[in-house]
Amino acid sequence: MQNEPLPRYVPEQIALYQTGHLLTHEVCQFDPARAVAELQAEREVMAIDIGGDKVRSAIYRTGKGALQKLEERVFRSRKGVGYLRFLERLAAEAMERDLRVGISSATKMEGSRITRTVNLPVFFEEMRQGYDADYAALFPGRVFAANDTIMGICGASTLLALRGIAPSHVAFVICASGLGASVIADGTAIHVEAAHVPIVPVLNPLGQATPCGVEGRQYVCVERVAAARAGIEDIYRQQTGEAKDGVELGKLYEAGDDLATLAYETSATALAHAIAGVMRRYAFPEGDESVIVLHGGNFEVGRYREAIRSRLATIPHTRCRLVFSRDLSPNVCLDGAAITALTLG
Ligand SMILES: [Zn+2]
């Protein structure tokens, strides 16, 4: 383990976010104020959150500006085994009850089609064979589907608007199994692949060497040090030969374990640079007009939340309002799926 402290500000890392390494994809128009207006009408929709190790569904009832979650169901499995059967039952139910459907999918998307997944190979293959990997073929005529970063930012910005917070610039950052981000810029929700940007060596003190791997990228990317499963868990296993999950590692970090501390502080530093890079790329102004919403398992660790705050504070031009999605809702991506089913479905 190195003795040098982690650098707190590495301009070269932020500069990498201004290059073609940052893949971006404009997904849909979204206006939180309009979404709030839509919540006045009494309606029911189905929302589905497709994650790396579980699918969650719920019926949402709206009316008088409120969003009420009912009939929540969870199906757990590995690699997406059984996901399709669970979704086919939901599709039959949506048709029978004539419900619009919103789907948050932790996969790369092109329109309503899945184009890439790391965690869900079985589900992806079954979807390809049966439905051309297209949620619109599974839920014909009634679905709006998007990546979880998009659903997260639509959900979070609407929940903020319901509390009277309407910033000019919003970014949403997921740090969980993987790393992902999105922004709303000039009324357009944009998927911003903050993960697959190279990490500079000084921000990789534990010598993570596992390459990015996405679409053939051979360099070590930000996700490989910052995310939970792809980064922290992988690095801890390399260093100790022991496999521990994010919950166990988070506890070690809170207890002050040296290796866990360095792995999490490395993650927080890389993530703070990613946030700074995205803010600069989309010209976020300094102050309360800029909101960064942070979502995912890493932010369940109190010491990590503090590390992100303190790391961001030492990077110039990053003054903003930091919001943790856990303070808005238990599942802001599922909420976003319900909201977009109303406004876009
Ligand atoms: Zn990558």
The whole-model pTM stands at 0.94
Residue 291 near residue 323, CB atoms below 8 Å = yes
User: 119 C-alpha vs ligand 1 centroid, how far in Å?
Assistant: 14
Span from the CA of 267 to the centroid of ligand 1 (angstroms): 14
Computed over every residue of the chain, the mean pLDDT equals: 95
Same domain (yes/no): 79, 129: yes
315 falls within a domain: yes
Rounded to the nearest angstrom, the distance between the alpha carbon of 261 and the centre of ligand 1 is 23
Two tokens, residue 72? 């929540």
Distance, CA of 106 to CA of 120 (rounded, Å): 9
Does one domain contain both 180 and 267?
yes
Question: Which residues contact residue 274 at a Cβ distance below 8 angstroms, ignoring those fewer than 6 apart?
Answer: 17, 173, 179, 181, 194, 197, 222, 226
Q: What is the mean pLDDT of residues 182-199?
A: 95
* 304 lies in the same domain as 178: yes
Look at residues 333, 202, 337 and name the one whose alpha carbon lies nearest to residue 273: 202
Contact 45, 99 (CB under 8 A): yes
- pLDDT at res. 3: 52
**Residue numbers of the domain that contains 44:** 29-154+331-343
Around ion ligand 1, which residues have CB less than 5 A away?
196, 212, 214, 221, 223
Residue range 21-34: mean pLDDT, rounded: 94
Mean per-residue pLDDT for 105-116?
94
Instruction: Give residue 79's Cα distance to chain centre.
Output: 18
Asked if residue 313 and residue 177 are part of one domain, the reply reads yes
* Rounded-to-integer distance, Cα 74 and Cα 61, Å: 19
Alpha-carbon span 235 to 224, nearest angstrom: 8
| Cα 229 to ligand 1 centre (Å) | 12
**102 within 8 A of 45, measured Cβ to Cβ:** yes
Domain count, the chain: 2
Ligand 1 centre and the CA of 167: distance in Å?
30
Ligand 1 centroid from CA 141, angstroms: 34
**Cα 54 to middle of ligand 1, angstroms:** 22
**From ligand 1's centre to the CA of 231, what distance in Å?**
10
Q: How confident is the model at residue 278, as a pLDDT? A: 97
Supply the CATH number for residue 195's domain: 3.30.420.40
